[in-house]
Amino acid sequence: MLASVDPTFKYYFCLHANEMLLRLEHTPKLVLAAIQWTLRRGGLEIAMAADLRFAQGRREIGLPEVKSWSLPGTGGTQRLSRLVGRARPSS
């Protein structure tokens, strides 16, 4: 959907989506994310904003837009680095 709209719409869409995820992150209620299938892009960003994430079995998750040199528009890279931490240097 975002591929066919003008840049102003994209800007406001990402702005409002980020605001929604920030509210989800900071709500005083416990937020759970149940991961049942492949989780990418916006779905992963919503799961990262939750307090706890549950998945059974092997699941494929990722931010594929990073491979094409475009950043997730709602803070996904920042949330991911806060959740997993920095990479350890290989020895």
Active site residues: 45, 65
Residues 6 or more apart in contact with residue 83 via CB below 8 angstroms: 48
18 and 73 Cβ atoms separated by less than 8 Å:
yes
The half-sphere exposure of 15 on its side-chain side, counting CA atoms within 13 A, is 6
Q: How many CB atoms lie within 10 A of CB 27?
A: 11
Distances (CA, A) of 19 to 23, 73, 83: 6, 11, 19
